[in-house]
Structure 1
Amino acid sequence: MEQIFTELTFWHWLAIGLLLFGIEMMTGTFDLLMVSIAAWLTAAFAYFAPDNLSTWQGQLIVFGVAAFALVVLGRTVLSGMRNSGEEHPTLNKRMASLVGQRGIATGDFSAAGSGRVKIGDTVWGAEVSDGSTISEGEAVIVEGARMNTALVRKV
């Protein structure tokens, strides 16, 4: 077993780091990223350190200390990187993104309060939200949405 460790070179540490990084990309735990960085730091140590310091024992000590320190750092100081960012509230919610926009009625609204409005370059089905009557050409503002129908009121 000792013979395996005595032949450790910086190439081995680079390969271990790449392997751990590949596993990290599949799992997304963030901890293996820190351990792979520790392996790359150990590879740098094995390459640049004098021969009397870069023995297999020295390499394992550097790897252990670096891995421990980076995992603790990742769990405490860098823990905010683990949280996914809040998505935009109207992302992929087309009707919700219309709220607050102005449009023009493309025809008279029915007695039941339904009609059509042009907002931007698109014509949408709409309902009156406040019970008022809306005629063709009047400006409206979108107050909400129900399914694929905009809830509008006169401006």
Structure 2
Amino acid sequence: MNWHIKKFDELTNVELYKLLGARSEVFIVEQTCPYQDIDGKDFSAFHLYAESNGEIAAYVRILPQGISYNEASIGRVLVSQNFRKQALGKAVMQKAIEYMKVEMQEKNIRISAQEYLLKFYQDLGFKQVSAMYLEDDIPHIEMLWSYE
């Protein structure tokens, strides 16, 4: 498993194609949720992903403060179907949090989490900070991670 973190302009065309393909497969096809994945935020993002034998295994998009929220945020969290049940979701989130804490000097991270993943994110130190709301017809909650 090879881990990478790159700014948008550091990604090759092939890497970008694979990342967008993985996002489309999980969020649009698997979840049968037609939504606009290409939202302009990728230009400002750090793209953290694991690759194995040329396939995207896990991915998150890290956004600096002021892009989605006042706080920095993590989104588009995914583990590709062929790589599930290997704790890669936890691994990619831990790597994202560590990067944001050390390299970006972030003390707060806000996410919009699918509600069924509440415990997963709580186990990573996130706390629920909103009531349930629908985003693309999927129940979500806002969660906040803080480091003092």
Which structure has more relative contact order (CA 8 Å, sep 6+)? It is 2
Instruction: Please state which band the TM-score falls in when normalised by the shorter chain.
Output: under 0.3
What is the TM-score when the length of structure 1 is the normalising length? 0.26
Q: More strand by proportion, 1 or 2?
A: 2
Indicate the structure with greater helix content: 1
